[in-house]
Structure 1
Amino acid sequence: MLQQQAESTGGVQPPNHGKNMSSNLGETSHQPQLSEAQIAVADFYLISHLSHFLLPDSSRFFYFASHLKSSITTPFPPPSPAPPEASGWDSDNPLAGGGERRWTGERLNYYRPLYLAAQRGDWKNAKSFIEHDPNALTATISPSNSQTVVHVAALCCQWGFVLKLLEFLSPESIAVQDSTGCTVLHYVAQGGSLMTAKSLVQKNSFLSQMVNNQQELPLLHSIWSESKEMVWYLSLITRVDSPTFPFFIPTLPRILRHLVKSGFHDIALYFVQRYPNLALAEDEYKHSLLRWLAYEPAHFVSGSNLGFIERWIYKCKYHVLEQLINQICICLLFYIAKVFNAFFLLVQVVRVEIKNAPTQLEVINMRDILENTQHFPALQSRSFATRVLRLFKTLLWKASAQLAPSIKMVRDAKLKYECAVELVNHVCMKLHSMRYHQIMYFFQNPEPILGNPVTGGIEEIVRTLLQHFPYLIDYDVLPERNILKVAIECRQEKIVNMVKEISPITTKNLCSPLPDSGNSALHLGGKLAPPFKLFSVSGAALQMQRELQWFKEVEKITLPADRDRKIFDNETAKDVFRKEHKELAEQGEKWMKDTANSCMLVSTLIATVLFAAVFTVPGGNNNDKGIPIFLRMNAFTIFIISDALGLFSSLTSLLMFLAILTARYGVEDFLESLPKKLIIGLGSLFVAIAAMIIAFVATLTIVLSERWHLVFVPITLVASFPVAIFVMLQLPLFVQMVQTTYGASIFCPWPSRV
C-alpha cells in the first residue's frame, strides 16, 4: 500500500513557497497594522527559524531578517506537522543560489526524524513515519546531496534497514541517483554487503550498469570495499563489452588498475583473458597493466614478507594437499552414500512382479544390483554427489583455516602471486604481435618501464621480460644505467644473480663503464645503499658489514682493468666507498663500543660471583682434610662443573669485549674482525649466564634436598625465566650476525658450462 501511494503521488514535489507568499505575504497597501508584541514575536521567530540555513555572516542575516519582517502581513504560524508540500522550498530567499540553500527550516525539521532513523537503522520509527507519509519513500531528505532515505541508510551501512525498504520500493525508485549520480548500489558495493547487492540487482538488474557523474560503475566502488566476494559478483554480472575496438568500455582500464592496486589479480586476469586488448590498454594517466604491476613489489613472491613458517608452507605443493582433501571427502561421501542407499538395496534385492500369476516372485541377483547404477538413485545423480563433495571440501578448508590461519593466508597469497606472473605473460604475448620499434616505444615511453621492477627487486617481471625479449638487457632502464648497474646500486641481489645466470661475459661487460658515461658498476657499488635496503639490517656495524660484502662481491664480477679506474672526481671505487660510508662507519664504531661496554659489565659481575663461589662451596669443607662435605653428591658435581664453565666463559667474553674496545676500527675491520669478536663475546656470555643459573640451582638443591626431595623442579622453572628473557632479546641479533658473517655469499656462483 505504501508503495502504491508513493508511486501515485510521484514522491514529494519541490514545494513552491510562492503559494504561501500569496496568502501570507502581500503588497504593502493591503497590510494590516501589527502591534509591537506581534512584531517582537515575528522577530524572534525569524531569528530562530532562519538560523538553520542562513550563512554565518551577521550583516547578511540581519539584512535578510529585516527584509522579510517588512513584508509580513500576519504573525508567523507555528510549524505544521504535515508534510511541507507547498512551503518546503524558499524560492524568494535572496541568498539562495540553489541546492541546499533553498531548503527551509520547516522542511529540514520535518525530514530530520526520518534521516536520523535511517542513519541509526531504527526501522520502527522510520516505518511509522512512512506510514504517515508514504511520499517520504522517494522524497529527497538530504539537502546537501539530494539523497533519499535508502541512500542515507546505505551510506551508514544499515543493510537490514535497506532490505526492509526494498519491500516497499519499486524497481524505478531504487534506481534514483543523488546529486553525485550514485545509486544505492554504488554505496552498497562500497560497503561490501553482498546479500544487499544481490537483492538490489534482483529487483532491478539495470542497477549494475548505471554510472555516476564520474562515469564510475558500482563495480569500481566494490573494489574500494576490499570484499573479494562482492567484486567477483559484480564482475560477473556487469556488462563491460563494446561492439567496437577494443571491444570493451573506456572505463574498464581504470577498473583494471584498481583491481591490480588492490591485489585482486585473479579478477584482473579474468578480464584480461576475456578481453586480450586490455593487456595493453592505457588509463587516463597513459599507464598500462605492466606499469601498474611494476609499482607493486609486494604483489610478487620476491617482494613478499613471509615469515619462516609461511615460507615453508608456500613451498609445499598445494595440489598434493588438495588431492588428500579430495580423497578424504570421497571416502566420506562413499560411506554416506552406502548408508543412504541401504533402503533402496533392500527394496531392489527382492522385487515382486505380477505378470500372469499374482503370487509369482522374481529374485534379483545382488551382483546385478551392484553392477547396475540405476538401482542406486543417490549415486546416479552426479550433481548431488558433486554438491556433497564440494560441501565436505569447504568444511575441511574452513577447519584448516581456523586451526592454522597461515595456511589460508599463504594460499591466498600464492594465488595472487601466480596470477600476477600470468598477467605479465599476457602482456608479453600481446607484445609479440607488434613490431620491434613499437615494442621498444612501449618499454621506453614515457619512461623506461623496467626501472621500477629492477629498483624494487621484482624478479618475476624482469625474468619474464628477458625471457620474451632478451635484447632488453642491453638497454638502459635508468639514465646511463643498465639493468645490472641499477640492481647493484639498489642492492637487489636477486636481479644480479639472474643476470649472472646468463653469461659471465655478459655480466662483466654490463659492469664496465660506457665511453661517454662515468657510471661503472663498482663505483655504484661504492655508494651508500638506499634507506629501504640499508635499514633492513639492524645495527650500524652490521649495516657496514653488509655494505662491505656488497662491494667485495661486485669487485669479483668487475673486469680487473675497471677496479682501480678513476671516474668520479678522479676517485677510485674504494675512495668513493670510504667517502660515502664515513658517517656509517662512525655510527658502527659507536654501536660496537656501547654494546661491548654493556656486555663487559655483565661478564665482570658473573666472573666475580663464580670465582668467589668456588671458595665458599655449599655445605662447607671437612675441617681435617678440607674436602667438601657434599663432594659425593651429584648436585655438587653439577655445581662445580657449571661454576668452572661459567667462570671460563665469562672471562673469554670479557677478553673479547675488551678487544672490541681497543680495536682500530678501520673500514676493513667491519667485514670480519669486529663481527667475529662480537659473536664470540656474546656466545661466551650466553654460556656464562646459563652456567651461573645452573650453579645456583644446584646449590639450592644441595641445601634443601633433605627437606624437599623435588625442590629442584620449581627452582629450575623459576631460574629458566631470566635466561629465556635474555635469549629472546639477544638471540635474534646473535643469529643475524652468524648468518651474515659465516653464511652463504650474497651472489650465487657462476653457472657451470660444459
Structure 2
Amino acid sequence: MVAHRLRKAYSGRDSDHSPPSYPDNGDDLRRYQDLYKAALAGDWETAEGTFKSDPDAKTARISLGPETALLLAISMGRTQFIKKLVQRLSPEDLEMTDSNGQTALHFAAMYGSLDVVKTLIDRHRTLTQIINAEGFTALHTAAIFNRKEVTQYLTLKTTDDHPGCPFTGPKAGSLIQALVWSGSYDICIRLSKIYPDLALTNELGLGMLEALTDKHSDFKSGCKLNFWQRCIYHLLPVEVEHDHTPRCLLSNDVEAPQVNPQIPPTSTTYWTRVRQWSIKTAGKAQDYFAFGAIKCIKDEKYKHKCTQKLVEVTCKVIADRLTPREINQFFASQNILRRAAMSGIVEIISICLENFPYLIWVKSTFAATLQSAVALRQEKVLNLMLEQSAFTKALSNEKDGCGPKILRSAAKLSPYPELSSVSCPALQMQRELQWFKAVEEFVHPQVREHKDKGGRIVGELFTRKHRRLLRDAEKWMKDTSSSCMVVSTLIATVVFAAAFTVPGGNVDGKGIPLFLNERVFMLFAVSDALALFSSTTSILMFLSILTARFAEEDFLRALPKRLILGFTSLFLALATMMVAFGATLYMVVSERFKWILFPITALTAIPVALFAMLQLPLLIFMVQSTYFPRIFHPKKIW
C-alpha cells in the first residue's frame, strides 16, 4: 500500500512544480539517431566518433523525453559506456534533467546501479541535493524503488541541505515511509536518532509508525517458524547497532559521537569484555559457517529486532514531543492500534500501550482495535487486550441496535487469509466454533441473548453465516472417512488371512506352526494381531463418522476426536502390517540369504515413512486444535 501510493506520487503530474519546457528537437532526433542507438546498446566506439565530429552531442537531447545520451545509457545499465561519458562531461552537464526534472543520478538510483551512482557522485558531489519536479532527491528515488544498496550509499552521501532537505523538508515523510516499505530499517533507526522529528512526519496520510503496520511479515508475530526453526531462532545472537552513527549522516554543525561499536562505554570490567568478544567471535563464525536456512533465520531475526527497535524509538519521540492530549489525537487520527490489530502486529500494540497506558481509556481507539481483532481472528492481539481493565470488559458487552458488537463480529465468517490458514473445512469449522464460544464466554449471558430487529439472537447469525462451510465440512468428513475405511478394510482382510496361513506352514495333524520356536515368529504374531486390532478400530471410528448427525456442535470436539482416533489406528495398522510382512519374508528366505534383514527393514519402512510424512502434519494439527486451542490466554503488558 505504501509503495503504491509513493510511486503514484513520484510519477504524478499534479505537483506544484511545473515541468520544464524544451524546444522541439525533431532535427536532433534525426541527426543523432546513431548516437541514440549507441547509447542504448552501450556502443562506445560509435558514440565516441559522434562526439569527435560534434562536441555538442554529449549534452544534446536525442529523444522525445527529452533525454541525453547519458540518461539513455543509465536507463539501460551500460556501466562502461557511462563511466567513459561522465569523464567527458562537466559537473554542470550532470545537472541536466528530463521533462520530469530528473537528473542522471535519479535515473541511476531508479535503475539500482551502485557503480553508476558512485561514478556520478565522484564527479559531482552535490548532485545528491538536486530534486526533481516532485521534490524528490535521488535518495527518495532509490528508497521508493527499493534499491537497498544504492539507498544505503546515498544515505551516507546526502546531507540535509537546500533545496532538497530530504530529512527535515516537506518530503521527509515520503522518505521515511519509503525506507520502511523497502525494509531499510537500519537506516531508519540511524536517521530517527539524528532527526527525531522524522518519526512524526506525515505525508500521503501515513507516518512511520503507521507505515510499519503494513509490514506484518517483518515482525516476530508475523513470522511462522516450525519447531526446529524456532529452536535455531532463539539460539542465534543478533544485535541491532544503533549507537554507531556514520559522520556523513550528520548535519554540518553536529559532530559525530566517538563511539566504539564493539564495546559499549559502560563496559569496563574484564569479564564483560571477554563476554562481548565471545559473542562477536561466535557471530563471525556463524556468518562463516551458516548457510541456507540458518542464514535466512538470522536475517529474519535481525528484521524483527529492527522493527521492534523502530517502534520503541518512535514511541519515545512521541512521548517527548507531544502532550497526552495530542498523543490521543495522534493515535486516533492515524488509527495505528486498529491497523496493527488488523495486521496482527502484537509488538506495535504492546509497545504503544507500555508507553501510553491511558490509550485503553480512549473509547474510539480501543473499541475499534478490539472489534478488528475479533473480526479478523487475530488471537495474539486479542490475548494482549483482554483482562486488562474493567473498561475492556465493558467494551466487550457493548451493544447497538443489532446486538452485541464483539459477539456479532465473532459470529461472522473469518476473512479468507485467516480461514485458508487452516488445512481443511472440518478444522475450519472447528476453529470458527472455538472463536465464537470463546468470545461468547467473555460476554455477559444477558448480552448473548439479545435479539436484533428481526428477533434473532447472535447464535442464529453464526448458523446463517457458516451454512456453506458446514456443508463443505460434512462433505470432507464423509469423503475422508470413506477413503480411509476402504484402506482399513483391506489391511484387516490381509492380516486376518495371514493369521491362519502362517509362514512355513503347520506341523501335520497338529496345526502348530513350524517356526513357532523362532524369535522372529513372535514378532510376526504380535504385529499381525496389532494390525488386525488397529484396522478394526479404525473401521469402527470412520463408520461412526459416516453415521454421525453432523451438527455444528459436533465439529467442536466429537467428530475431530473420532477422526484423530481413526487416523492414529490406521497409521498403527499400516506400520504393524509392514512389520508382519517383513518378519514373514525374513523367516522364508533367511536360510539362503543371510544379509536380507537390512534390505527388508529399509523397504518396509518406506511406505510407513511416506504415510507419516503426508498425513502426520494433519494429525498433529488436529490434536493441537482439539486438545490445545490457543484462543484466549491473556498476556500481561505492564
Aligned to 1:103: 26
- 1:224-282 deviations in Å (ceiling 9; x for gaps): 45343321211121123569999822111111111111222221222222222222222
Distance in 2 between the 1:696 and 1:541 partners?
35
Query: Displacement of 1:129 after TM fit?
Result: 5.1
Change (3 A) 1:108 1:492: same
Give the gaps of 5 or more residues in structure 2.
1-20, 242-276
Change (3 A) 1:469 1:392: closer
Distance in 2 between the 1:750 and 1:452 partners?
20
Q: Map 1:451-600; keep pairs closer than 5 Å.
A: 451-477=338-364, 481-503=367-389, 505-514=390-399, 518-567=403-452, 569-600=454-485
Distance in 2 between the 1:628 and 1:164 partners?
92
Query: Displacement of 1:501 after TM fit?
Result: 4.8
Distance in 1 between the 2:545 and 2:350 partners?
44
Change (3 A) 1:243 1:665: same
Aligned to 1:263: 183
- In the alignment, is the contact (CA less than 8 A) between 1:175 and 1:207 conserved in 2? yes
Give the 3-state SS of the residue equivalent to 1:186 in structure 2.
helix
Query: Displacement of 1:131 after TM fit?
Result: 5.0
Distance in 2 between the 1:101 and 1:608 partners?
89
Query: Displacement of 1:551 after TM fit?
Result: 1.9
Question: What residue identity is the alignment partner of 2:549?
Answer: R
Aligned to 2:248: none
- In the alignment, is the contact (CA less than 8 A) between 2:61 and 2:69 conserved in 1? yes
Question: What residue identity is the alignment partner of 1:298?
Answer: S
Correspondence 1:686 to 2:575: no
Aligned to 2:230: 311
Distance in 2 between the 1:549 and 1:156 partners?
56
Correspondence 1:442 to 2:365: no
Distance in 1 between the 2:459 and 2:553 partners?
11
Aligned to 2:169: 249
- In the alignment, is the contact (CA less than 8 A) between 1:523 and 1:572 conserved in 2? no
Correspondence 1:748 to 2:633: yes
Q: Provide the TM-score with structure 1 as the length reference.
A: 0.71
Aligned to 1:296: 215
Pick 1 or 2: higher relative contact order, CA cutoff 8 A, min separation 6.
2
> Which segment is superposed worse, 705-714 or 663-672?
705-714
Change (3 A) 1:526 1:321: closer
Aligned to 1:119: 40
Change (3 A) 1:132 1:307: farther
Correspondence 1:702 to 2:587: yes
Correspondence 1:226 to 2:226: no
Query: Displacement of 1:390 after TM fit?
Result: 13
Question: What residue identity is the alignment partner of 2:153?
Answer: Y
> Which segment is superposed worse, 636-645 or 119-128?
119-128
Structure 1 counterpart of 2:511, from 608, 615, 626: 626
Correspondence 1:144 to 2:64: yes
Give the 3-state SS of the residue equivalent to 2:206 in structure 1.
coil
Structure 2 counterpart of 1:639, from 516, 524, 534: 524
Distance in 1 between the 2:42 and 2:100 partners?
23
- In the alignment, is the contact (CA less than 8 A) between 1:485 and 1:510 conserved in 2? no
Distance in 2 between the 1:429 and 1:192 partners?
34
- 1:314-349 deviations in Å (ceiling 9; x for gaps): 323626999xxxxxxxxxxxxxxxxxxxxxxxxxxx
Change (3 A) 1:128 1:396: farther
Change (3 A) 1:396 1:118: farther
- In the alignment, is the contact (CA less than 8 A) between 1:550 and 1:746 conserved in 2? yes
Query: Displacement of 1:491 after TM fit?
Result: 1.5
- In the alignment, is the contact (CA less than 8 A) between 1:475 and 1:482 conserved in 2? no
Distance in 2 between the 1:389 and 1:154 partners?
46
- In the alignment, is the contact (CA less than 8 A) between 1:473 and 1:482 conserved in 2? no
> Which segment is superposed worse, 740-749 or 114-123?
114-123
Q: Provide the TM-score with structure 2 as the length reference.
A: 0.83
Query: Displacement of 1:125 after TM fit?
Result: 4.8
Query: Displacement of 1:423 after TM fit?
Result: 3.1
Change (3 A) 1:203 1:462: same
Query: Displacement of 1:669 after TM fit?
Result: 0.5
Give the 3-state SS of the residue equivalent to 1:438 in structure 2.
helix
Distance in 1 between the 2:327 and 2:599 partners?
73
- When Rg is computed on C-alpha atoms for both structures, the one with the higher figure is 1
Q: How many residues align?
A: 582
Question: What residue identity is the alignment partner of 1:620?
Answer: G
- In the alignment, is the contact (CA less than 8 A) between 1:241 and 1:248 conserved in 2? no
Percent identity over paired residues? 41
Change (3 A) 1:125 1:499: same
Query: Displacement of 1:167 after TM fit?
Result: 3.4
Distance in 2 between the 1:113 and 1:626 partners?
100
Distance in 1 between the 2:49 and 2:352 partners?
65
- In the alignment, is the contact (CA less than 8 A) between 2:160 and 2:166 conserved in 1? no
Give the 3-state SS of the residue equivalent to 1:450 in structure 2.
helix
Question: What residue identity is the alignment partner of 1:458?
Answer: I
Aligned to 1:428: 315
> Which segment is superposed worse, 312-321 or 214-223?
312-321
Give the gaps of 5 or more residues in structure 1.
1-97, 323-387
Give the 3-state SS of the residue equivalent to 1:272 in structure 2.
helix
- In the alignment, is the contact (CA less than 8 A) between 1:450 and 1:477 conserved in 2? no
Aligned to 1:197: 117
- 1:464-512 deviations in Å (ceiling 9; x for gaps): 222233232233457x944333322222212222123524x44432211
Q: Map 1:167-182; keep pairs closer than 5 Å.
A: 167-182=87-102
Correspondence 1:287 to 2:206: yes
Structure 1 counterpart of 2:82, from 137, 162, 165: 162
Query: Displacement of 1:745 after TM fit?
Result: 4.1
- 1:87-112 deviations in Å (ceiling 9; x for gaps): xxxxxxxxxxx9798535xx656644
Structure 2 counterpart of 1:731, from 613, 616, 619: 616
- In the alignment, is the contact (CA less than 8 A) between 2:238 and 2:302 conserved in 1? no
Computed over aligned residues only, the root mean square deviation of the Cα atoms, in angstroms, reads: 3.3
Aligned to 1:27: none
Give the 3-state SS of the residue equivalent to 2:336 in structure 1.
coil
Distance in 1 between the 2:406 and 2:311 partners?
29
Q: Map 1:358-437; keep pairs closer than 5 Å.
A: 396=285, 398-400=287-289, 403-432=290-319, 433-437=321-325
Query: Displacement of 1:389 after TM fit?
Result: 12
Question: What residue identity is the alignment partner of 2:95?
Answer: A
Question: What residue identity is the alignment partner of 1:139?
Answer: A
Change (3 A) 1:752 1:415: closer
Distance in 2 between the 1:631 and 1:581 partners?
59
Give the 3-state SS of the residue equivalent to 2:88 in structure 1.
coil
- 1:402-445 deviations in Å (ceiling 9; x for gaps): x3333433333333333333333344334334344433332333
Change (3 A) 1:440 1:125: same
Give the 3-state SS of the residue equivalent to 2:446 in structure 1.
helix
Query: Displacement of 1:124 after TM fit?
Result: 4.8
- In the alignment, is the contact (CA less than 8 A) between 2:481 and 2:546 conserved in 1? yes
Aligned to 1:90: none
- In the alignment, is the contact (CA less than 8 A) between 2:402 and 2:451 conserved in 1? no
Distance in 2 between the 1:225 and 1:170 partners?
28
Distance in 2 between the 1:302 and 1:750 partners?
14
